[in-house]
Structures are given as structure tokens and as C-alpha cells.
A and B are shown apart, each in its own frame.
Chain A
Amino acid sequence: MSGFTLDDLRTVMRECVGVDESVDLAGDIGDVAFAELGYDSLAVLELASQVQRTWGVPLTDTPALEARTPGAFVAYVNDNLTEAGR
């Protein structure tokens, strides 16, 4: 199973959750807080829900909210991918 990348997350952010005009998702956003990018808790849950659907990753109940940045979110998804692969 191939991993989940920051670009995959960017696609979900653009297509499903929306982007504010002032935000450049193409930039180096891995360590920028979701809040600074205009994504609140509900948006992060929606991202998790979208990834769960489109990637078929059964995300554990460890709150996705603990991922404060896109980088942490990608790591969180990959942890779940690994779990699912076992």
C-alpha cells in the first residue's frame, strides 16, 4: 500500500474543505498550524472523514484533532494505514 502524502492532503483540502483566498496551499505548509491556514476543528474532522472515505482508511478513534499541522495529519493517516495493513 502506498503512503499518504502532503500532496494528497492538499488535494483533499482544496476539493472538499475549501481554501481561503489568502492561503497558499502550495507552499511549505507541513509545519504550519491548521488554525493559521484557516482550518478549524470541524474542518480537520471533515478532512479526516474525507480521507477515511476516499482512501478507505479506517481511522482509529484517536482524535484526528490531535494533529495540529498538515505534517502531523499526514503522519497520523500513515500510522492508520500501517495499522490497517497488518
Chain B
Amino acid sequence: MRGDRAVVTGIGVVAPGAVGREPFWELLTAGRTATRRITCFDPSAFRSRIAAEVDFDPYAAGLTSQQVRRMDRAAQFAVVSTREAVADSGLELPAADPGRVAVSLGSAVGCTVGLEEEYRVLSDDGRHWLVDHTYGVPHLYGYMVPSTLAVEVAHEVAAEGPVALVSTGCTSGLDSIGHGARLIEEGTADVVVAGATDAPLSPITSACFDAIQATSPNNDDPEHASRPFDARRDGFVLGEGAAVLVLEAASAARARGARMYAEIAGFASRSNAFHMTGLKPDGREMAEAIDTALRRARRDPSAVDYVNAHGSGTRQNDRHETAAFKRSLGDRAYRVPVSSIKSMIGHSLGAIGSLEVAACALALRAQVVPPTANLRHRDAECDLDYVPLTAREHRMDTVLSVGSGFGGFQSAAVLTRAGT
């Protein structure tokens, strides 16, 4: 292992309410919410009829007709984010040695929209179990295998090193960045395009979260429906989007004079081996992931200046996570600002972890903590400083971002100001 750490030198974002990195940061610091009644399909037959949608025109975003035809919405988000991240990094691609360029892309549900739309046609709206293959589009297999998302990004950056789609449910976006940083640390790659994308807004997604009553039914007040840590929270609000980071070995980034947003100083993941959706109230495994990530970053809990929470807004998650912070950070948990950007951009499943890391990197740049929007009613079980409603200027060197996902996955990443 070379031991060189990964630094973030480029960021690209497609988020609800904000296509592009700077609009994204502006939305977060303004505390504006992008949740609304679903418009991409008729939601009237569903329990939860709200989501955080991206207003996205693929042509305006620079994609060609063939790309639009071929790519599922999640792939479109990923490619557009990748372009912005690469341009931001100032890297020239294709690289001199494309074999040293890798891709680590996360996604929880792959090409759901493409799969479902084509299913409707092939089955004639569910009429036929023996679907009619003659209606199959040429790119159908590309929708069935989520690895297609990584393929599109790899082609975009001409990567010939390791390319993978990381799919650990709602921690995919954190795990893909952890995996990307590991490829740099072990010396396998010089540049890793790492991030995540998900575009899950479709009837089948809404129906399955309805069935387990995980999403908020607060249909009368969509703008205020995503309420992490609030006493009246009643589930998460689905979202969509992508964030892609350019990761480079710190020494190489420094040598070329690149702007470095942050260093990926530590990462760890654990599983609760408890339940596919349920969380134990004690937050034990998430705390273990946080402890390990901090140890790898050689940081004491007292060094943590900001925690970007998973904060999904379900009853059990926010309780579980609060317990995990207390368990791992001790007294520091009560003194460090903790916030959830899902209050503004919803929960985009696998993508959100990368969007949150992007937010952490931007927070380090601006020395501003994004708020938890909609937090108006204190919950006795959630008694930390969640930065309600308004962004806060705050001195930060070390930030922690955590995620928790179906399947029992618990992940934590530590970002530090590069060079600190």
C-alpha cells in the first residue's frame, strides 16, 4: 500500500431544486426545500404522494439524442454530474495512462425507471406474465444490469482501470466513495471518479415504500414533509439525483496545484446483522463504524466539528442515529452541530450518501454548516444540536458523514480540510 490519501478535487451535482454544484450549495445554505407533490407520474392512488424531484432537461444538460434514448434517468444524472466534476477538477481526460483511472459509482436501485417503463410495454400493463419480447428496446439489458451506470461514467472519462457499481442500498453513495478512496490508498489508481446516482421516482418505488409505511404521508404540506429529528416526523420523502467526486492521490493533486476541497481521511462500514429494515435503538453498529473511521483518520471524537447525519426522518432512524452519535462521540455529541440535508432534498436512496459527502466538502470550503430544515418541534429522544432552519457559520477542520441502509448497512466517512 502506498499510503497516499485521496483528496477531492472536483465536485458535480444533480439535485432536486439544483442542477449543478453551486446552485446545490446555495439551496442548502438557504435552507430551501425541494419537496413537492409528485409530478413525474400521477400519484393520486398512493399513500405518499410527495417527493423531491429534479427539474432536469437532459438536452439542456448537454446530452445527445442517442444518449438520452440509451440512458436511464439515473445514468443521465451520473454522466452530467461526472462532466461537471471533471471540469471542476481541471484534470485533462483521457489521462496519459487511462489504466490508472478508475470508477466507483454507487446506486441502490439502478435503472428502475427504465425497467418499469419497459415492463409496462412488454407486459401490456401487467396483462401478460409471458411478456412480449418483440417489444423489447435495444437497451433493455442495460436497464436490467445496474453496472450500466458505471459503464456510462467509465466511457465518459475513458477509464481503463477498475470500474465498479457499488450497490449497498442506501449506503451505496458513501460506500462508493470509501471504495474509491481505497483504490487510491492501495495504489491501484491515481484518479477515481467516485459518486452515486439514483432516479427511483416511479410507481413501483412509491408502492413498495407505501407498503412498509416508510415514506411520509404528509401530502397536504409537501414543502414541510421531510422533518428529520422533529417530534412530528412521519417518514422520509423520496428524492432523486447524483453527486460525483473526482478523487486523486494527495501528492499528485498537490503536485499539479489542484484545488483540494477535502481529504477522505477515514472510512468504515459495518452491518447490523439484525434486520433488513429495522434498526436496534442503541445504534451500536453505526457507532462502531464511526469509531473505526475516526481511528483510520487518526482523529479523536473531540476533533469532530460537524456531523452530516443520515437523518432520514423516520421515527426509528433518527432515534437510532442520535444514540449512535452519543455512543461514539460521547460528550462531543452534545456540542457538535449535526444536520440532515434530506430535510431539503429528500432521500435519494443510494445517491444521497454522495450528495451528503459533496455537501460536507462544500461545507469545509465555505466553513458553513447547512441546516436541518423543517425542524420546529423538539423530540425528547433527539436532543442534540441539529442546526434547525438556518445555516450557521462554523469553523471546521474535520467533518463526519454517516449513512444507514436497508440490508443493515452502516457507514461512516471522515473528511478533513486537505493538508490539515
Contact A40–B211 (Cβ < 8 Å): no
A61 and B217 in contact, given A45-B212, A49-B211 (Cβ under 8 angstroms): yes
- Give the CA-CA distance A40 to B276 in the complex, in Å: 10
Contact B278–A41 (Cβ < 8 Å): yes
CB of A10, distance to nearest CB on chain B (Å) = 22
CB of B362, distance to nearest CB on chain A (Å) = 37
Q: Which chain B residues lie closer than 8 Å to A49 at the CB level?
A: 211
- Give the CA-CA distance A3 to B276 in the complex, in Å: 33
Instruction: Give per-residue flags for B192-227: 1 if the beta carbon is below 8 A from chain A beta carbons, else 0.
Output: 000000000000000000011100010000000000
- Give the CA-CA distance A45 to B214 in the complex, in Å: 11
Question: Pick the contact of B278 from A40, A46, A63 — CB < 8 Å?
Answer: A40
- A26 CB–B CB distance under 8 Å: no
Nearest chain B residue, comparing its CB with the CB of A41: B278
Contact B213–A42 (Cβ < 8 Å): no
Q: Which chain B residues lie closer than 8 Å to A65 at the CB level?
A: 213
- Give the CA-CA distance A42 to B276 in the complex, in Å: 9
Nearest chain B residue, comparing its CB with the CB of A45: B212
Q: For residues 18 through 46 of chain A, which have their beta carbon under 8 Å from a beta carbon of chain B?
A: 40-42, 45-46
- B277 CB–A CB distance under 8 Å: yes
Q: Which chain B residues lie closer than 8 Å to A40 at the CB level?
A: 275, 278
Q: Which chain A residues lie closer than 8 Å to B212 at the CB level?
A: 42, 45
Contact A61–B278 (Cβ < 8 Å): no
- Give the CA-CA distance A45 to B209 in the complex, in Å: 11
Contact A61–B276 (Cβ < 8 Å): no
Q: For residues 273 through 292 of chain B, which have their beta carbon under 8 Å from a beta carbon of chain A?
A: 275-278
Contact B276–A63 (Cβ < 8 Å): no
- B299 CB–A CB distance under 8 Å: no
Contact B213–A63 (Cβ < 8 Å): yes
Nearest chain A residue, comparing its CB with the CB of B217: A61
Contact A45–B275 (Cβ < 8 Å): no
CB of A69, distance to nearest CB on chain B (Å) = 19
Contact A42–B277 (Cβ < 8 Å): yes
A61 and B211 in contact, given A40-B275, A40-B278, A42-B277 (Cβ under 8 angstroms): no
- B47 CB–A CB distance under 8 Å: yes
Contact A45–B211 (Cβ < 8 Å): yes
Nearest chain A residue, comparing its CB with the CB of B274: A40
- Give the CA-CA distance A51 to B275 in the complex, in Å: 23
Q: Which chain B residues lie closer than 8 Å to A41 at the CB level?
A: 277-278
Can you spell out 19 A-B residue pairs with CB atoms less than 8 angstroms apart?
A40-B275, A40-B278, A41-B277, A41-B278, A42-B212, A42-B275, A42-B276, A42-B277, A42-B278, A45-B211, A45-B212, A45-B213, A46-B211, A49-B211, A61-B47, A61-B213, A61-B217, A63-B213, A65-B213
Residues of A within 8 A of B (CB): 40-42, 45-46, 49, 61, 63, 65
Which A-B residue pairs are the 9 nearest by beta carbons? Answer: A45-B212, A49-B211, A42-B277, A41-B278, A40-B275, A42-B212, A63-B213, A45-B211, A40-B278
Other A-B pairs, 16, CB within 8 Å; known A40-B275, A49-B211: A40-B278, A41-B277, A41-B278, A42-B212, A42-B275, A42-B276, A42-B277, A42-B278, A45-B211, A45-B212, A45-B213, A46-B211, A61-B47, A61-B213, A63-B213, A65-B213
